[in-house]
Amino acid sequence: MNPPELIGRNTILDDFQDALDNGPGSPDRLMRISGIRGVGKTVMLNALGAIARQRGFHVVDVASNPGFCARILTALSRTELTSISIAPALLGVSIGSAELSKSPTQLGEAMFNASKRGGLLITLDEIQDAPLDELRELGNEIQLLIRQGANVAFAFAGLPTSVDKAVGADTLTFLQRAKHIELSRLSDFEVGESFEGTVRQAGKELAPEAASLLTEAAAGYPFMVQLVGYYTWQSAARRDSNTVSAEDAERGIEIARANFDTMVIEPALRRLPQRQVEYLTAMARCSKQPAQTGDISRLMGLSAKDTSSYRKRLIDAAVIEKVGYGRVDFAIPYMREYLVAHAEDFIGE
């Protein structure tokens, strides 16, 4: 869902707006967005799309799972923007990349036609799922269009390690030139301002203690900002009160925390193999936080060599982050608390 206000991202949006206004060739028309789960990559792509639409661009949003090149072609041919006709048999057939860079392909032609009628923005989400050959195909086409001075823009997003990997593949050097935006957590200041502004705009007062409780509970994590804000507002509305009080905030935070566990923490843990969850559980139980990797191995009764692959996979999945030498921290707030509270469910025999 798009939030009522995109907190702390104005500079990025302004830069993109300028890039569209400055015409083809502006470097910020190519954007690579990375960040952990729930930090706001998808809503950022949506916001870029909204800016482009306002300027008359045609916007195609696709997820990166196999077949996305064909889906872009289908989306372009469905609109009246392009006049090409597609032989269905051709969809999904992959053509060697050497050919692609020389002769105009159907995909390239469709994108070129769309770019001539008001401009074209392609957004590609969840790039960790992208087959490299398709990424290469799309990358080649866009590179060609840019070289021709076409009115195009391209933004792609995904988890940090996978975005780095996709861009690092030596056949995709063109993508390396994209402006890199690492979406980070929001600052407490920005979050607090946003809570106050949103409540005021809706015609209510936010008690100062409520503002600081909400800001602390949100922990700079955009998804949690939405949850605590929503349930706190609901509590005040049910009382029919014009002031959002500290009690509303406390009630809202409690419900938000329960929802956060079931909507974010549990699905994230369910996606992981047992051994990695055991690593996380040991990490959560370390008395020193952020945890020292040596302490985690010791708690698991394993050598540092044995645990290093678990750690690497968890970092790749953006569940944990390296913080300084030999230390790791949880990337998602409240995961540690959850694991401590439910340790017995997760520890193997």
Ligand X SMILES: Nc1ncnc2c1ncn2[C@@H]1O[C@H](COP(=O)(O)OP(=O)(O)OP(=O)(O)O)[C@@H](O)[C@H]1O
- Chain contacts with Mg ion (rule: CB under 5 A): 41-42
Size of the site for ligand X (CB under 6 A): 18
Q: Retrieve residue 295's tokens.
A: 């302490």
Contact residue for ligand X among 226, 234, 243, 292 (CB under 6 A): 226
Contact residue for ligand X among 17, 24, 26, 37 (CB under 6 A): 37
Residue corresponding to tokens 């036609």: 113
End-to-end Cα spacing for the chain: 41
Cα–Cα distance, 291 to 65 (Å, whole number): 35
Long-range pairs for 261-268: beta carbons < 8 A, 24 or more residues apart: 261/334, 261/338, 263/223, 264/37, 264/38, 264/223, 264/332, 265/332, 265/334, 265/335, 265/338, 268/37, 268/319, 268/332, 268/335
Q: Retrieve residue 116's tokens.
A: 């001539």
Question: How large is the C-alpha radius of gyration of the chain?
Answer: 23
CB closer to ligand X, 222 vs 252: 222
Neighbours of 143 (CB within 10 A): 18
Cα–Cα distance, 178 to 8 (Å, whole number): 21
Q: Is residue 219 within the footprint of ligand X (CB under 6 A)?
A: no
Q: Is residue 12 within the footprint of ligand X (CB under 6 A)?
A: no
CB closer to ligand X, 136 vs 185: 185
Cα–Cα distance, 119 to 132 (Å, whole number): 26
Which letter, b or e, does each residue of 216-252 get, where b requires 16 or more Cβ atoms within 10 Å of its Cβ?
A: ebbbbbbbbbbbbbebbbebbeeeeeeebbbbbbbbb
CB closer to ligand X, 167 vs 225: 225
Considering CB distances under 5 to 8 angstroms, the limit depending on partner class, which of ligand X, Mg ion, none binds residue 311?
none
Contact residue for ligand X among 41, 185, 251, 257 (CB under 6 A): 41
Q: Is residue 52 within the footprint of ligand X (CB under 6 A)?
A: no
Q: Is residue 6 within the footprint of ligand X (CB under 6 A)?
A: yes
Give the shortest CB-187-to-ligand X separation in angstroms: 11
CB closer to ligand X, 39 vs 172: 39
Q: Is residue 20 within the footprint of ligand X (CB under 6 A)?
A: no
Give the shortest CB-21-to-Mg ion separation in angstroms: 27
Give the shortest CB-280-to-ligand X separation in angstroms: 18
Residue with the closest Cβ to Mg ion?
42
Contact residue for ligand X among 68, 195, 223, 330 (CB under 6 A): 223
Give the shortest CB-226-to-Mg ion separation in angstroms: 14
Instruction: Show contacts with ligand X in window 263-292 (CB under 6 A).
Output: none
CB closer to ligand X, 6 vs 299: 6
Give the shortest CB-68-to-Mg ion separation in angstroms: 15
Considering CB distances under 5 to 8 angstroms, the limit depending on partner class, which of Mg ion, ligand X, none binds residue 226?
ligand X
Q: Retrieve residue 169's tokens.
A: 């593949």
Residue 131 exposed, middle or buried by CB count within 10 Å (0-12, 13-18, 19+):
middle
Neighbours of 119 (CB within 10 A): 22
Considering CB distances under 5 to 8 angstroms, the limit depending on partner class, which of ligand X, Mg ion, none binds residue 121?
none
Alpha helices in 202-341 (DSSP H): 208-218, 222-238, 246-260, 266-270, 274-285, 293-300, 304-316, 335-341
Contact residue for ligand X among 12, 20, 31, 43 (CB under 6 A): 43
CB closer to Mg ion, 42 vs 115: 42
Q: Is residue 74 within the footprint of ligand X (CB under 6 A)?
A: no
Interface ranges with ligand X (CB under 6 A) = 1, 3, 6-9, 35, 37-43, 222-223, 225-226
